[in-house]
Chains A and B, each alone.
Chain A
Amino acid sequence: MRELAGSLMSSELLKYAFQYGGFLLEAAVIMHVVRSGNFRRLAGPMVYVACILGVGTSRAYVIHHFGLKSSEYGYFYWTSDAALVLAAFAVVCVLFYRASAHEEKIWSFVRVTLVAVFLGVLAFSINSLLSHKDQLFTGFIVEFSQNVYFACLVLITLLYILMQQLGNTDDELGFLVCGMGIQFAGPAASLALFHLTSGEQMVRSLIGFIIPVCTLAMLVIWLYALTRQPQTAVDASLARGLVAWPEPAGDLKLRLR
């Protein structure tokens, strides 16, 4: 019993760590971009990060007021999730624009495709709603979120391939796309699992970990892409030769000789 309570406590602690770590990282990414004067260039991704931060803090507020098991929180969670996937879709469109804006023909084709994909996903989800009219929140929004996430994942993969085909040398865009890919793949997989298992408690807990971890991974990759410098920092004291170099461990010392 004590072991079970201990493991539950540690999993709750881990959830809080991911949640608040995510808030800090989201704020850090936005602050860094604003301070470096790159906000205009990175407006799309930064608005998305701001949405994630806003939704995260609002959810914490709703839990505090209504409780985790309240129906208000349930409605708020799935509505905000739908808003987040729409924001994610908008970011995918922005990234497509950045990759293909200089190729007028490609961009006009991509524009039509993006609209068609969105309408297709919406039609598919509405069709699903019509067959389960009583399940707006438990059925429709979960399925809509899952389908948009998956559509975004497919689109971001197509963008990755398009960039390879165009020989795009924008390294920052490459990292942004990879980060988005991870951010979409985790939730798409976990929502599909949720759908397959009809929302079992274990899967719910798993989703509670996977989604924040994927968001954290995306933010770390973005932060790396935005802050990385071509040169590796070297300690100034080492550069002056004031600090002794470390002695290699025994087996490595032999090898180094």
Chain B
Amino acid sequence: MFMATIILILSTALFFFYVQAVCQKILRRKFEQEFFLAIVNANRLEFPAVRKSLEDFDVPVDYARLRMMLKCDFLALTYLLKNAANAGRSFSHEERLLIYYFRFAFFSLVMRHLLRLREKPAVLKMTAILQYFANVVGQRVNAVRFGSLTASDYLLNL
């Protein structure tokens, strides 16, 4: 009985650990260049600034504003992922998994705030997911040639 209880608890914990490990492995994908910069500039996304302020200064942040910034960036990027240079107009399997992972991280951020725990790990996780999304969008847009227009020129003229 005791052994079965231990196995149940550990196995359940490890199940979620491996799901997270798969997400982390997808996020570790190397892109040929930093495609996300053009997308961030064209759409005035705020997650790089959030990450920089947390990594460099580690100052306490305005929680309500931070939440709003990350949520808005997430909405913009998921829209672009689905519609920008995407023939199928749908998310791929790994994008769908990362969207769930972002939502889980967002929930974790809310819980950490309520329990007065450190919010930094959850925020960094969310910015990593947003950077991946921006890189994917940037790579797709970069692969499309519109005369002399660059990716950021195109996005600014939308």
Are the CB atoms of A232 and B143 closer together than 8 Å? yes
Q: Which residue of A lies closest to B1 (CB)?
A: A196
Are the CB atoms of B4 and A196 closer together than 8 Å? yes
Q: How far does the alpha carbon of A253 sit from the alpha carbon of B43 in the complex, in Å?
A: 10
B11 located at the interface, meaning its Cβ lies under 8 Å from any Cβ of chain A in the complex? yes
Chain B 78-91, CB-CB to A under 8 Å as 1, else 0, gives: 01000111110100
Chain A 158-173, CB-CB to B under 8 Å as 1, else 0, gives: 0010000000000100
What's the nearest-Cβ distance from chain A to residue B152, in Å? 12
Q: How far does the alpha carbon of A9 sit from the alpha carbon of B143 in the complex, in Å?
A: 48
What's the nearest-Cβ distance from chain A to residue B133, in Å? 12
Decide yes or no: A249 and B79 within 8 Å by CB, A153-B14, A181-B14, A186-B15 being known contacts.
Answer: yes
Stretch among A19-27, A50-58, A187-195 lining the B interface: A187-195
B33 located at the interface, meaning its Cβ lies under 8 Å from any Cβ of chain A in the complex? no
Q: How far does the alpha carbon of A148 sit from the alpha carbon of B1 in the complex, in Å?
A: 17
B49 located at the interface, meaning its Cβ lies under 8 Å from any Cβ of chain A in the complex? no
Q: How far does the alpha carbon of A7 sit from the alpha carbon of B66 in the complex, in Å?
A: 43
- B147: A residues at CB distance < 8 A: 241
Q: How far does the alpha carbon of A255 sit from the alpha carbon of B140 in the complex, in Å?
A: 20
A5 located at the interface, meaning its Cβ lies under 8 Å from any Cβ of chain B in the complex? no
Q: How far does the alpha carbon of A234 sit from the alpha carbon of B94 in the complex, in Å?
A: 16
B residues contacting the other copy or chain, number (CB 8 A):
43
A231 located at the interface, meaning its Cβ lies under 8 Å from any Cβ of chain B in the complex? yes
- Dominant secondary structure of chain A at its interface with chain B: helix
Are the CB atoms of A257 and B85 closer together than 8 Å? no
Q: Which residue of A lies closest to B44 (CB)?
A: A255
Pick the contact of B15: A174, A185, A234, A238 (CB < 8 A): A185
Q: Which residue of B lies closest to A240 (CB)?
A: B145
- A256: B residues at CB distance < 8 A: 42-43, 76, 155, 158
Chain B, range 73-116, C-beta contacts under 8 Å to A: 75-76, 79, 83-87, 89, 93-94
- A175: B residues at CB distance < 8 A: 22, 25
- Interface core residue of A196, A214, A221, A230 (most chain B CB under 10 Å): A221
- B75: A residues at CB distance < 8 A: 252
Are the CB atoms of A189 and B7 closer together than 8 Å? yes
Decide yes or no: A245 and B158 within 8 Å by CB, A146-B4, A181-B21, A196-B5 being known contacts.
Answer: yes
Are the CB atoms of B158 and A257 closer together than 8 Å? yes
Chain A 185-212, CB-CB to B under 8 Å as 1, else 0, gives: 1101101110110000000000000000
Taking A146-B4, A235-B87, A245-B158 as given, write out 13 further A-B residue pairs in contact, using a Cβ cutoff of 8 Å, ordered by the A residue number.
A181-B14, A181-B17, A185-B12, A189-B8, A189-B11, A193-B8, A196-B5, A221-B22, A231-B143, A232-B140, A245-B84, A253-B158, A256-B43
